[in-house]
Amino acid sequence: MGKPMAKNLLAAGHELVVCDISTTAVAEFTALGARAAATAKEVAEQVGLVLTMLPNSSHVRQVALGAGGIIEGAHPGLGYIDMSSIAPQVSREVSEALDAVGIPMLDAPVSGGEPKAIDGTLAFMVGGPQGLLDSYREVLEVMGASVVRVGEIGAGNIAKLANQMVVGLNIAAVAEALVFAQKAGVDPDAVYQAIRGGLAGSTVMDAKAPMMLDRTFAPGFRIALHIKDLTNAVQAGHEAGAPVPLTAAVLEMMTVLRADGREIEDHSALVRFHEKLAGIELHRPGQADA
């Protein structure tokens, strides 16, 4: 995700200082004109805005507050936007620590996956001060088609968790319905075509049903990452006193797939869970059951 987002910033004329655990990725960007830094501190010292796109809460906490982190590179005028999908409480903790040294922060996770990261049409869900978002909106709009402030710091990640809940449940429902249709003797592709234009239709259905039918599970968004998000959602739900039983059920389905070694596959592979229960393999007409 971070690589195409950064490339869009370069293409828009922004100067970048990059840091990554992958030396290959860093070399790719220096060849494009970016400057390299060895630590997040070195990045912060050279820029007016630090952007991070990291896997989970622990990584953001380390990059922002750990040894060699952003906090050690504090200087007047420095701002920080974390675009990772993490636990909302961690966003608040990091923001509080950075604010103490004069670094204001936005949490701005995204939706859209790698395809929308590549074409610059991500949806940003932003938490933090309105004035700060106004200052940096142009940067986010280089990478996204939608930038919406949903509240104070941490609210961006609450919105992202809600997004992941809806996406996960939608994928599970599509998978269950298509497996049901085939098991009942009806062409699942015909069912998909019949219902996609009605109330059941959705962006998720149109993105994931063809992948299930074609059995193409190369990751746009890995099951392992969706497990991370839904785990955070269940925890945040518990903390807020908001039960999330459907989310918990989908999390357990994905956990079964991780136990089967499928965690690096796209989350459309949720269909494998329903196939296992029904004892069939989803396919288009003319293909044989496995």
Digit-coded pLDDT (tens) for 50-60: 999 999 999 99
Asked whether 5 and 83 are in contact (CB, 8 A), the reply is yes
- How large is the average pLDDT for residues 97-111? 97
Q: What local confidence, expressed as pLDDT, does residue 286 receive?
A: 74
272-286 pLDDT per residue, tens:
999 999 999 999 987
Quick check: is 3 catalytic? no
Residue-wise pLDDT for 157-188, tens only, equals 999 999 999 999 999 999 999 999 999 999 99
Phi, psi of 82 (to 5 degrees): -100, 120
What integer is the mean pLDDT of 73-88?
97
DSSP code of residue 266? B
Average pLDDT for 17-25 = 96
**Residues of the chain above pLDDT 70, percent:** 99
pLDDT number for residue 185: 97
| pLDDT of 115 strictly over 90 | no
pLDDT by residue (tens digit) across 219-259?
A: 889 999 999 999 999 999 999 999 999 999 999 999 999 99
Report strand pairing: 49-52 vs 35-36: unpaired
What residue spans define the domains of the chain?
2-151, 158-278
| β-strands 122-127, 110-111 pairing | antiparallel
From the candidates 116, 160, 208, 228, which is the catalytic residue? 160
Tell me: pLDDT of 290 over 60: no
Instruction: State yes or no: pLDDT of 289 exceeds 70.
Output: no
CATH topology of domain 2-151: Rossmann fold (3.40.50)
- pLDDT (mean) for 125-146: 98
Distance CA 236, CA 217 (A): 29
Does residue 37 register a pLDDT over 50?
A: yes
CA-to-CA distance for 47 and 45, rounded, in angstroms? Answer: 6
What average pLDDT does the structure give for the chain? Answer: 96
Across residues 205-227, what is the average pLDDT? 95
Kind and range of the H or E element at 37? none
Task: Note the pLDDT of residue 113.
Answer: 83
Mean pLDDT for 32-40 is 97
Distance CA 47, CA 37 (A): 11
Question: With 50 as the cut, is the pLDDT of residue 209 above it?
Answer: yes
Residue type, 282: L
Mean pLDDT for the stretch of residues 130-148: 98
pLDDT value for 288: 57
CATH architecture of 158-278: Orthogonal Bundle (1.10)
